[in-house]
Amino acid sequence: MEINIENNQEISFDIFLRNFRNNVSKIGLKNSIQKDYILKILYFSKEHLTADEISNKIKQNYNVSIGIATVYRAMKFFHDIKLINQLDIGDGVIRYELNIAEHHDHLICTSCGIIIEFSDDVIELKQISIAEKNNFILKEHVMTIYGICETCQ
């Protein structure tokens, strides 16, 4: 039996979206079709997107115009409920990713702007150890390492 990955991703997104709508409704907040489109773009993106890129992709992929202010309001909403992560690569533009994958950190090239995601158990354990040593309860963290990628060297 052959499995169509694209259909499975669509099914997974449908489940994700249904859960999101249910959870938002339970806490008495509103959802909108614009938020659904934004979530769909973020869900299927393999990149860290800016608000402008999200708006443009919605227009290209679905022929729907969403104002940039609407995208920013939705991103604030998603960030407030911890559904997205914000990433600043040092160019003054915030990029976004869904907060549904396992925790990871980022390497960012200051020359070309490439973003490389990585996970490292030793780093994670060291951060916990440092927090404990300082009588600090670690809730979350963001690690971004800036440098020059292999291509730009």
Is 106 annotated for ligand binding?
no
- Protein fold of 102-153: Dna Ligase; domain 1 (3.30.1490)
Beta-ladder partners of 107: 116, 145
Is 105 annotated for ligand binding?
yes
Confidence band of 67 (pLDDT split at 50, 70, 90): very high
* Separation of first and last alpha carbons in the chain: 46
Separation CA 49–CA 52 (nearest Å): 8
Is 149 annotated for ligand binding?
yes
Is 103 annotated for ligand binding?
yes
Q: What is the pLDDT of residue 8?
A: 57
3-state secondary structure of 81: coil
pTM of the model: 0.79
Is 124 annotated for ligand binding?
yes
**Tokens standing for 83?**
């559904």
Q: CA 12 → CA 1, 44, 83, distances in Å?
A: 19, 11, 16
Domain 1-101 has CATH 1.10.240.10: no
Q: What is the pLDDT of residue 28?
A: 87
Is 102 annotated for ligand binding?
no
If you average pLDDT over residues 51-80, what whole number do you get? Answer: 95
Give start-end residues of each CATH 1.10.10.10 domain in the chain.
Answer: 1-101
